[in-house]
Structure 1
Amino acid sequence: MGITIDAGALDALFEATGGHAFLYRHLASAVVNELPGRHVSPGDQEAAGAADDQHVA
């Protein structure tokens, strides 16, 4: 994929998903899909989570 993810972002993803592998991968994918570039920082997972919540009805 060619992305870089800050260590803090990895920690934030782990915390947000409780370490659940499927949820972790799903949230990480949502974050990457929302980014214009290929770099993930800690605040990005929060934005993707909010966007993901809007898609769930």
Structure 2
Amino acid sequence: MPRSTQRPVITLRSTAGTGVTYVTRKNRRNDPDRLVLRKFDPVAGAHVAFREQR
């Protein structure tokens, strides 16, 4: 399998509705479902869940 399809670039969007995004990579083999990470949202001023957007 080519490297680009194994670890695709994904966008994480804030669940607080502020429009803040993070860009990261994920391994499809280890995480086939949508990724949810708790990261800092500077607009909300707190750590919130960021969900993978497709």
Shared fold, TM over 0.5: no
Larger strand proportion of the pair: 2
TM-score (norm 2): 0.26
Q: TM-score, normalised by structure 1?
A: 0.25
